[in-house]
Amino acid sequence: MDSGALLDLLGNENRRRILRLLARKPCYVTEISEYIDVSPKAVIDHLRRMEEAGLVESQVDDQRRKYFHIAENLRLEVRLSPFDFGAKSAYPASADFDLAQFQYVSVRVAERRENDVAELATKLEELKDLERELSLTQRWVQGQLADVQNRLADTVGEGTDRLYADVLAALADGDRTVAVLAERLDAPEALVEGVLETLRERGVVAETDGEWRITE
């Protein structure tokens, strides 16, 4: 689902309250209505919109009553800084995801016997602790990111103009031509070329046969 559409959908407080309730247990419309003190008609409308978006699903029980539950794992990230604004949603989680491919990630969670209640409960607590640690790590990374962007912008003399820092980061990663840089940064080639010319005048980058590199 598009992150912008998801933000619009979750901008409604009652929808957020419904999702918090459904995160605890599946519910019927009447249960939701009583819990959040909103009319059944309004609850049905909220559920319909969230069901269309794929956030919730419905099933019918033996008494032919429809109840709702959250459809899948979903994480929504919003970034806001002087250098960046964006939202990113991630679908869905996987217990078999291979972390070995990421050079900066090392996770150790003890393996537990599959159906041992005590062991599984212990693993659940370990994973909750890991989630908290990863959240703190993400805050640290964002702080470092903002600090480096600020220092890089100050060094090249462009204040909070993010494009200068992004162009230099792309050059450091091996991108060399204006066309490739423009495609990676989703910016017009003329704009990227103007940034490169400004950086060349300041002695930060150089160009040879149409390929650019950082000089310092």
Question: For the whole model, what pTM was predicted?
Answer: 0.64
Mean pLDDT value across residues 48-61:
93
Judged by DSSP in three states, 102 sits in coil
> Per-residue confidence at 118, pLDDT binned at 50, 70, 90?
confident
For 111-123, letters b (16+ CB in 10 Å) and e give eeeeeeeeeeeeb
Map out the domains of the chain as residue ranges.
Answer: 3-70, 117-216
Q: Which tens digit of pLDDT belongs to each residue from 10-48?
A: 999 999 999 999 999 999 999 999 999 999 999 999 999
The more confidently predicted of residues 158 and 182 is 182
Residue scoring higher pLDDT (60 or 160):
60
Which has the higher per-residue pLDDT, 100 or 37? 37
HSE of 142, CA atoms in CB hemisphere, 13 A:
15
As a CATH number, domain 3-70 is: 1.10.10.10
Q: CATH classification of 117-216 is 1.10.10.10, yes or no?
A: yes
| Fold matches, 3-70 and 117-216 | yes
Looking at the chain, the whole-number percentage of residues with pLDDT higher than 70 is 88
What torsion, rounded to 10 degrees, do the Cα atoms 186, 188, 190, 194 define?
Answer: -40
Rounded to 5 degrees, φ, ψ at 121 are: -65, -40
